Structures are given as structure tokens and as C-alpha cells.
Chains A and B, each alone.
Chain A
Amino acid sequence: MRVPERFNTDLEKILDEHIQFGLLPNRIVLNLKIIESAVNKFISDKLSEKKVLFIGSRTFAFSPACATLTLFEDRSRFQPYLDFFLKNREHSKLTKTFITNFDAVIISSEYISELNPISELLSSINTSIGNLPLFVIEYNLGTREPGVFYNDDGVLSNYLNYQRWFNKNRSHMHTGFNTYNYSIIKIHDLTKTYFTTE
């Protein structure tokens, strides 16, 4: 797919590959490399030498320096793409045993907002993370009022649920929490022992 001149020509290939596997050429795909770069930098800067789990990794191919990163994505719309391009991605086991293998967890806000509030997976995430360092990524790709809406993928997304989950996880942080801002994303540090992280 042809792209305007100011974009890197790599984007044409990225768009074509996503379209080929039934994904919409949305704003996250348009900004894929920028987001990958920001996450790589965050992990390298803040989670160096750690074993990190990223939940809701879509079609990103992160490659941070100085950290071991495991990507988890189980949403069916991404599977044809992932099966072809990123075969080693985790998509079937998000148990407590699995999660506690890691030193830190990063989770995407749009992944949480797509989960059913009574889903076993959300329950598993909530009970398994415990005191593990927890970071939440939000994409700055247009303002949305809290609600239930069709997201950039054309999938129903319950941002109200995400907000409740977010508020529950930050409710004890009476002195606030750290947020790291990048051009397309922001990352909140929701680690339960927040006062010791920075």
C-alpha cells in the first residue's frame, strides 16, 4: 500500500503484511515502529536485566536491549499474522505459575478493555501479578471519553472496565504514581510497592 512521502517506505510493507492477514491498517499499525521504539527504550531504561512479560502485545516485535522479554497475545484476530511472522509468541498459558516466572509485567490498556469483566483470564491476571512490578501502557491516538466503543481494530472495547481495573490497582497509591510519557504512548507504574520503585 502506497504511503505519503514523509513516511518511511518500511510502512508500505508493514501495512501490506497486516492487510494480508485480515487486520485493519489502523493508527496503531501506522505508528508501529514508533511504539516499538518507545517500549524498547522504556524496558532498556527501567527494566534492564529483568525477565519481562508483555500482555497484549498485538503484532509488535519488541527487541529491548539488556532484558528478556516474553510476548503474550491470545486475541484471535492477531493469530493468523502471528502464526506467520512471530511464531514464538505465547498465547495459551496465562496462569499464576506462568506469570510468576517473570520479574515484571507490562500490560496494554486496550487488552484489558477487551476482556470480559468476569473472564477467568482477568481474574488470573489480577490474582497472579501480586507484588510483581506492574506497568500499564496506554496509546495516545485520539482522545476517548470513558465508555464502550469500537476501537481502532473495529472491535468492541470496554474502557469503563479498564478504568475500574486501573482504579482498583492504583487505589492504594495515595501519593500518586509514576507515568512515563513518550510520543505515542504513556506507561503508568502500578507496582503495589510503588514507593520503592523510584
Chain B
Amino acid sequence: MNINHIRSNIYSSGYHTLKNYLSSDTVSRLAATWVSMDHYHFDNFIKNVDVKPGCNPYLYTRPTPKDFVFCQHIWNQPIDEELHEIAYDIQMMRNSIEGKPRFAGLHECHGTALQYRICRTVSEHAKVYPHADFFEESRQDPTGSHAFDPIRIQATLLLSTFNIDYKGGGFKLYNDTRTSYQLFGRDNCASAGDLIFWRYSLLHEVSDVQILNNGLGFLRIIFPVFEIN
């Protein structure tokens, strides 16, 4: 992994894609597991401000039961050990890119904790509204301070592919001037198995997803980090 090259892409252009980070077999296995995941392993929705070390994994579905977000914490007994391992790997890569110690977010001594969210969007009216993180925007339910921090990056691991599993919209990442955006999979070659690191302080949204071929819809995993001290 060429850290300088990845940093240059993220902090200049807004994102960097690691193509085929996961094999197609792993993508298929993860997608099948999580689309059919039993809900009783998960608590009901917990607000971000109520996430504390030791709290259980939780699930919320909105606006339909098929639009889900499974939230697992780094301290939870993993229900999917392979995914837990993948989350560790991605967090350590992100730490290297951000110039943080590799264990940041993975041990309580750092004061931050990784959560990973398996998100599926199948409804056209399901929406993550446009917002920018760590850009001093007010938050009703913050994961911690949102003071301006242009170093911060988010990771999105794609488990489905534009124009195969869904069409119309999906993950939109705006440019610095907010005059245009990249729709991943349509405006670039991102597809299932790819890992995207992107600058958190850029405006972004998920919208206009239309499920295709009775398929997966827009299935992805994101990796928020919580302040826990």
C-alpha cells in the first residue's frame, strides 16, 4: 500500500479506491450472510450518544424492513468473524493513512472505538441526507466532536454493484466546491469488493437507489469511529 499516493488522492481529489479489496467469493458470502441475518442477535436502535463500551450490537430498519443497518462494535463478540477481521484490517489501513497509531479505534486506551455498519438500501425514498462530517456542522446525535478535521477519512466497502444490483443513485461524493459529485459505480469503475477511502469533510449522501433484478440493492459497509472517553 503506497500511503503517500493514497493520501494524495484522498486529500486532493477526495477519494481513493482499492480495487478488488475483497474476492468475489468473500463478497458473495458476506452479502448472503447479512441479507439473511437473524434480527434477534441485535438490540433495537441505540442513539450515537448512548453508544458506550460494552453495549450490544444493534439494528435499525428504515423506511422499510428491507432497508437495514446492522451496527457492530469492536468490543462485541463477532457474529461474523471474517467481517470482524476485515474491519480490523480496514481500520488499521485508515489509521496509517491518517497518521494515527495502528490500534486507534481498536483499543479503549486510544479513547475512540470503531463501529462497523452493514447498510442496505433498497427503497427509492430511503435517503442519507447530504452532509459533511468533521466540518463543524451541528449534529443532533453526534459520535463525538465534529470540529473541523480535514485529516479524517471514512471507508466504504462495496458489497453490490451499480447497474447490476441497483440503479439510479447510490453513494454520491461531492467535490470541494459542492458543484458536482461522483456517483460511485456510475461515474467511476467502483464495484462490489472495492474499498473506497474518502475525505469525511466532503459533502456526501446516499439517495435515489432503485433495486434491480430483485437483487441486493445498494449493500455496503461503513466504518464510523466513536469517541468513548
Contacts and interface: CB of A to CB of B under 8 A. Distances in A.
B85 interface: no
Contact of B99 (A4, A19, A20, A24): A24
A168 interface: no
A4 B178 CA distance: 13
Contacts of A149: 101
A187 to B, nearest CB: 25
A19 B148 contact: no
B4 A150 contact: no
A24 to B, nearest CB: 5
Given A2-B177, A26-B151, A153 B8 contact: no
Contacts of A7: 148
Contact of B7 (A2, A22, A30, A152): A22
Interface residues of B, number: 20
Contact of A154 (B8, B98, B176): B98
25 contacts: A1-B11, A1-B150, A1-B176, A2-B176, A2-B178, A3-B148, A4-B135, A4-B136, A4-B148, A6-B136, A19-B11, A20-B12, A22-B8, A24-B98, A24-B99, A24-B151, A25-B150, A25-B151, A149-B101, A150-B99, A150-B100, A150-B101, A152-B99, A153-B99, A155-B99
Interface in B94-120: 96, 98-101
B100 A154 contact: yes
A15 B150 contact: yes
A75 to B, nearest CB: 14
Interface in A20-37: 20, 22, 24-26, 30
Interface in B5-30: 7-8, 11-12
A26 B150 CA distance: 7
| Interface residue range, chain A | 20 to 34
Given A26-B151, A154-B98, 9 more contacts: A1-B150, A2-B201, A4-B136, A4-B148, A6-B136, A19-B11, A24-B99, A154-B96, A154-B99
B47 to A, nearest CB: 25
Nearest to A153: B99
Interface string A110-124: 000000000000000
Contacts of A6: 136
Contact of A25 (B11, B100, B176, B202): B11
A6 B148 CA distance: 10
Question: Which of B96, B98, B100, B150 is packed against the most chain A CB atoms within 10 Å?
Answer: B150
Contacts of A30: 148, 150
8 shortest interchain CB distances as A-B pairs: A154-B99, A25-B150, A4-B136, A19-B11, A2-B176, A150-B101, A4-B148, A24-B99
Question: Which of B4, B96, B136 is packed against the most chain A CB atoms within 10 Å?
Answer: B136
A30 to B, nearest CB: 7
Contacts of B12: 16, 19-20
Contacts of A26: 99, 151
B119 to A, nearest CB: 26
A15 B10 CA distance: 13
A20 B9 CA distance: 10
A24 B7 CA distance: 8
A45 B23 CA distance: 63
A19 B8 contact: yes
A22 B4 contact: yes
Interface string B133-172: 0011000000000001011000000000000000000000
A3 B98 CA distance: 18
